[in-house]
Amino acid sequence: MANIINYTNLGALILYIIGRVLNMGILCWIGLAIMTLSSIWTIIHWKQNEKMSNYIAVAFLILVGLSFLGI
């Protein structure tokens, strides 16, 4: 299950980057929503996941927070 979440996060990050580069807000929002949901799921199941997956989830939540602040 952890691999599915990692690939989901990677896909969301790609959507987010494409949205930022092409200035398409909808892709950014979709990417941020997917990152948020998968990161929250990873954090809820913290002890069941690999250490690296947990750190990536925290990093994605920080990215989402910075994006909402406009940084």
Report the largest interatomic distance among the alpha carbons of the chain, rounded to a whole angstrom.
Answer: 38
Stretch (H or E) spanning 27: helix 25-44
Sequential pLDDT tens for the chain (71 residues):
667 888 888 899 999 999 999 999 899 999 999 999 998 898 888 888 788 888 888 888 898 889 888 76
Dihedral angle over CA of 13, 17, 22, 26, nearest 10: 40
Distance of alpha carbon 29 from alpha carbon 23, whole angstroms: 11
Tell me what pLDDT residue 70 has: 78
